[in-house]
Structure 1
Amino acid sequence: MTHRVELDVRDNSLNLIRLVLALLVLVAHGYYLSGQGAGPSIQGENLGGWAVFGFFTISGYLITASRFANPLGRFLVLRVARIYPGFVVCLVLTAGVFAPVGWWVEGRDRSRFLTTDTTPVAYVLDNLGLRITAYDVAGTPASVPYPGAWNGSLWTLFFEFCCYLLVGLLVCLPVVRRHRWLLGVAFVASVVVWANAGTWHLTDHADLALFARLAPPFLGGAVVQVAVRRIPLRTSTALPAAALAVLVVALVGGWGAQAASPLIAYSLLWLATVLPSPRLVRRHDISYGAYVYAFPVQQLLAYAGAPRLGLVLYDALAMVGTGLLAVLSWRWVERPVLLCVRHRLGPRQSAPGDSVVPEVTGGRPASVGEGPRHEGDRVRS
């Protein structure tokens, strides 16, 4: 008997799934930040890389739904309101709280903190455009197993927003609005581009290579958003889709995950319909806060010597600290800004993607398969 399920906009487990993915990134980064290397990997991708891949597929589904429901201006305002205020507050707290603690622990001259490169002000200003170019603050963190970076996760937000712009502009085309299946053509093109990235020398340009690598999972989620009208979420479809995704990833080296991203997106969305989730988690999305604060919390714990307690306890302590900051970010920054912006924009057509937005893009290594990224130090798994 076929079990058909629907993705209810307000009653699903996407918040829980994204939170689990964010914590999986925390665990993956725990190996790097405690000096234990890349940790477990699958097909050359560490756990954080796979978590980010999942983030992008879910994001592609939800953001595409939001774009079709909103004109471009409103769509962009909502997207900026969702990720930017929390991002800026994280930058300020890193420069104004985390870095001074690191400076103090290292026993440096307090009078020089505000004048040593990269200054706290420079750290914030250099990164305000979402593209992360500064990773240290006044040379901190230094006395830790992974020096030189306070937050190796934020860089993904730039590429996530590039994907927002890509879908936003594609849907501006009348032909795409009339024939949504053309997003599938864009997806196929993105996979072809990534499969030939080396041949076409895209890998010579770091930003182009990263965008080429991350656009397919996002567009894969967009494909599912279009296709789910004709192929509703069903258990009898989701399980074979998941099995086929595993097969493609196992057999196709280099770009198998990108090619299988619609299957991965479909499987995760189906899981969101059948996986039970606490009501509190359904109503409050702290996954974004968990994504942006995990790395600096882990670095602060590294200063305190937490990695010597063992990886499990180190990760557990990081989850507690990260969870607290994520809740505060949601309650005091993200949610108030979203409510204010939506109130000012006025009523609009209801659509999934505005009530549960996945910008996490979650924490992760430098690119899918790399360690935490900062200037001059890209650790490959």
Structure 2
Amino acid sequence: MNMIRLGLAALVLFAHSFYLAGAGEGPHVRGENLGGWAVAGFFALSGFLITGSRFTNGLGEYLVHRVARIYPAFLVCLVVTVAAFAPLGYVHQNGTLAGYWTTETTPLRFVFSNLFLEMKNYDVAFTPAVVPFAGSWNGSLWSLYYEFLCYLVIAAIGGIAWVRRSPLPLALAFAVSVIVYANMPAITPLLADTNFALLAKLLPFFLGGAVIQAVSKWIGLHWAAGIGSIFGAVFCVVLVPTWGGQLAAPLIAYGLLWVSSVLPSPRLIRVHDVSYGFYIYAWPVQQLLALYGVHNRGMAVYILSSGAGTLVLALASWLLVERPVMRAVRRRRQTSPVPAAVGGAAPATGAGDQSQAAGPQAQPESEAAAVSKA
């Protein structure tokens, strides 16, 4: 799935390029930009994989895996922002670094206020200010908070034995999530909470992937079902206003899984999962290039140069942060005694749990491939 997820991350970069270059909103489908649909795809695939991890791990081990996979690279990204991107922006705007650490919205405030995944501040020392889309060094990180909330939802309901034995509870949870989002116009005046609104928008995609995981041992992957899922998802999105994408979430998940099973992928991408790093570093790279006027040389130059720069940082994130952390988690698991299965659940089989998380037919290609899915 590395190739699919990297493609989704690249689609986010492409969609954001229009905003960050001041070239309008770019292509939209049913009121959502292409980046929004890519995030939906991420959540659908994540729901499939993470539910498999929950079903094959105890709660503590599951949470260790989830924190280790998402948080260290996020924290390093915050530090890189205040240590590299924002200083370059500050010097470009002010001609000096004097006052950088003490200007309101200070670098330390940026790191501390965003420390727990929920993005509360996006600028650093009033930078970036001289770009078409001012005031944000990383507008992509907001989704990680809701991703982790989805992890917690599965952590809670995945501990119930009935949920592990039957796909019905997850199907019901998915249906409820779609109904809630479909009725958001009535709920919003009563609740008026942005966090709830965004979670309600994204949770159906995650639970759609969870449903596919729950039924995967019966349905497998078949070309006819894969193609049918893609057409069915398009049908829902086109014919059902506002919440058609949420309704189509299981179809989106299955379609992406099927495409990932037939799409050729270079071995380097199969072994090195740079999709997460690509997602979290694309926006600051694009902002820095816009700060120096690269967007004025044409959208093609801007997008390609942004992609190249982001890929370098994504690879560094994978090699220096993500993979070492997950290897440490795997070593910790391998040196710990394996507890007996509880409540009919299978014991954990490693930090990645790749063979279970990706369905009954999937097998890890290497240690790095298993780490990448953890």
> TM-score, normalising length from structure 1?
0.88
Matched with 1:352 is: 357
Change (3 A) 1:250 1:356: farther
Given that 2:282 and 2:306 are in contact with CA atoms closer than 8 Å, whether structure 1 keeps it comes out as yes
More helix by share: 2
Matched with 1:131 is: 118
Q: What number of residue pairs does the alignment pair up?
A: 346
Which residue identity does 2:306 align to in structure 1?
A
Relative contact order (alpha carbons < 8 A, sep ≥ 6): 1 or 2 greater?
1
> Over aligned residues, Cα RMSD in angstroms?
1.5
Distance 1:37 1:83 in 2: 31
Distance 2:333 2:124 in 1: 37
User: CA offsets, 1:320-372, max 9 Å, x none?
Assistant: 1000000000000000010011111227424336926569xxxxxxxxxxxxx
User: CA offsets, 1:222-278, max 9 Å, x none?
Assistant: 001112222121011111121111111111001000000101110100011111101
Pairs within 5 Å for 1:11-90: 14-90=1-77
Which residue identity does 2:232 align to in structure 1?
L
Candidates 133, 138, 144, aligned match of 1:157? 144
User: CA offsets, 1:155-183, max 9 Å, x none?
Assistant: 10000000000011101122212323311
1:205 aligns with 2:193: yes
Candidates 277, 286, 301, aligned match of 1:313? 301
Distance 1:332 1:318 in 2: 21
Which residue identity does 1:43 align to in structure 2?
R
Distance 2:207 2:371 in 1: 18
Matched with 2:202 is: 214
Given that 2:51 and 2:357 are in contact with CA atoms closer than 8 Å, whether structure 1 keeps it comes out as no
User: CA offsets, 1:289-348, max 9 Å, x none?
Assistant: 000000000000001100101111100000010000000000000000100111112274
Matched with 1:231 is: 219
> TM-score, normalising length from structure 2?
0.90
Q: Could you tell me how far 1:92 is from its partner in structure 2? A: 0.2
Candidates 229, 241, 249, aligned match of 2:237? 249
Pairs within 5 Å for 1:115-130: 115-130=102-117
* Percent of aligned positions that are identical: 50
Q: Could you tell me how far 1:47 is from its partner in structure 2? A: 0.7
Given that 2:166 and 2:214 are in contact with CA atoms closer than 8 Å, whether structure 1 keeps it comes out as no
1:327 aligns with 2:315: yes
Change (3 A) 1:227 1:178: closer
Q: Could you tell me how far 1:204 is from its partner in structure 2? A: 2.0
Candidates 262, 266, 272, aligned match of 2:250? 262
Which residue identity does 1:67 align to in structure 2?
R
- Is the deviation greater in 169-178 or in 152-161? 169-178
1:293 aligns with 2:308: no
Distance 1:49 1:249 in 2: 13
Given that 1:191 and 1:259 are in contact with CA atoms closer than 8 Å, whether structure 2 keeps it comes out as yes
Which residue identity does 1:42 align to in structure 2?
V
SS in 1 for 2:128: coil
Matched with 1:189 is: 176
Q: Could you tell me how far 1:109 is from its partner in structure 2? A: 4.5
Distance 2:223 2:96 in 1: 61
Which residue identity does 2:60 align to in structure 1?
G
Given that 2:227 and 2:255 are in contact with CA atoms closer than 8 Å, whether structure 1 keeps it comes out as yes
Unaligned runs of 5+ in 2: 339-347, 359-368
Change (3 A) 1:35 1:203: farther
Given that 1:85 and 1:333 are in contact with CA atoms closer than 8 Å, whether structure 2 keeps it comes out as yes
Change (3 A) 1:57 1:358: farther
Distance 2:226 2:269 in 1: 24
Distance 1:177 1:280 in 2: 35
Distance 2:110 2:180 in 1: 34
Given that 2:282 and 2:310 are in contact with CA atoms closer than 8 Å, whether structure 1 keeps it comes out as yes
Change (3 A) 1:61 1:324: same
Distance 1:300 1:51 in 2: 23
